[in-house]
Amino acid sequence: MSTARFAVFVDLENCGAKVETLNDILEKVKIRGDILLGIVYGYTERFSALKEVLLSNTFDVVPSLRHGVAQKNNADILLVLDAMEVAYTNPLIDSFCIVSGDSDYTPLVGKLKSMGKYVLGISRSEVASKIFINACNEFQFLESVRTRRSSSEKSKKNDDAAGDDAALLKLIVSILSEQSDGDEMFASELKGVLLRLRPDFNEKSYGCNTFGKLLTKLSADHGQIKVRNDNYNVMVSLANEVSEDKGATQITRENWIELFREQLKHYSEDGFERINPSILKADIQGLYPSFSEKSIGFKRFSDLLKALEKEKVLALEMDAQKNMLIKML
């Protein structure tokens, strides 16, 4: 299986310019392939917290030069020029990731696709243009790229430290979930992706002599992945049925407001001021699979949102195209 080779172009204003968000964007790309080149646009000293991430991923930085009202257009033009230069001069790169939802980039996407390039778009749902979304080979909302967190999950700065089985399993599940065909992966292929994401990964840090033994251990201890031997190959996949935690929180008529409030708080902490309602519903369903607005007394999800607005948990707005947006309070 060939590995995609990406060039990544990031509009810092669009992605919120938080370390965690940028790391999640890079993780999403690295699951798909190698990043050979990266450029961020609109960098200023207020984004200095990103320096370590940018340097460790060898990104080039285009500073924000303020000159009248044309500043944003200048950055857009630079991104287009850089992307086209890479497309014409670097034959190694076959895939492009554009972190912006501006419809002005649609002609760029069309040109890249006509050259046989794969285009992944990532943007905040608040500003993502439907034209740009539909033009890309693949598109993901930035809010969905951020790792989902349940209301019972404690914030841990070092949850990906070496030797933390739960953090490793979470990453493996994320990789397997991103497989387009939803089928098995060769263990060797999975390890290659892990090394792109965590260059210091070593199975011996988890007390196992081989990667296959580590996968078998994780499968036996947690049950979220399935491991089998196919002749001389070790194959890995998501377990068909993940046993439900009997103690897991479920949404009820008594707790639903607080659980929605907690999820909205996460978006706000991640730097999102507004999101599309579909993002909230998808994340709630991901965290609480049995959730249905009807189960807590609402005919439509929009009715639920209006009830949350009355409780001053959120505010509802309409964008220029008359689409509903959720504003964080």
SS3 143: helix
- Quote the strand ranges of the chain, DSSP E: 4-11, 33-43, 60-63, 95-99, 118-123, 138-141, 185-186, 225-230, 233-238, 274-275, 314-318, 324-328
The two beta strands, 324-328 and 314-318, are: antiparallel
Q: What is d(CA 30, CA 101) in angstroms, rounded to the nearest whole number?
A: 20
β-partners of residue 229 are: 234
More confident residue, 287 or 55: 55
| pLDDT given at position 68 | 54
Question: What burial class does residue 156 get, using C-beta atoms within 10 Å of its C-beta: 0-12 exposed, 13-18 middle, 19+ buried?
Answer: exposed
Average the pLDDT over each of 50-64, 143-157, 269-283 and give the range with the smallest value. 143-157
The two beta strands, 233-238 and 225-230, are: antiparallel
**Most confident range, picked from 186-190, 219-223, 285-289:** 186-190
Query: Residues 68-88: pLDDT tens digits?
Result: 555 556 778 899 999 999 999
User: How would you classify residue 207: left for phi > 0, otherwise alpha for psi between -120 and 50, otherwise beta?
Assistant: left
Query: Residues 249-276: pLDDT tens digits?
Result: 789 999 999 999 999 998 988 888 999 9
The two beta strands, 185-186 and 95-99, are: unpaired
pLDDT greater than 80 at residue 149? no
The 8-class DSSP code of residue 50 comes to G
| pLDDT given at position 205 | 87
Structure-block tokens of residue 249: 């929180």
| pLDDT given at position 158 | 42
Q: What is the pTM of this model?
A: 0.80
| pLDDT given at position 153 | 43
| pLDDT given at position 305 | 96
| pLDDT given at position 243 | 45
Structure-block tokens of residue 278: 């579909």
| pLDDT given at position 328 | 94
| pLDDT given at position 262 | 94
C-alpha triplet 30, 34, 36: angle, nearest 5°: 125
Tell me the DSSP string of 152-221. TPPP-TTTT-TT-HHHHHHHHHHHHHT-TT---EEHHHHHHHHHHH-TT--GGGGT-SSHHHHHHHHHHH
Candidates 75, 7, 21, 9; CA nearest to 50 is 21
More confident residue, 189 or 230: 189
Question: What does the mean pLDDT of the chain come to?
Answer: 86
pLDDT greater than 80 at residue 6? yes
Structure-block tokens of residue 292: 């249905």
pLDDT greater than 70 at residue 180? no
| pLDDT given at position 20 | 86
Q: What is d(CA 275, CA 119) in angstroms, rounded to the nearest whole number?
A: 23
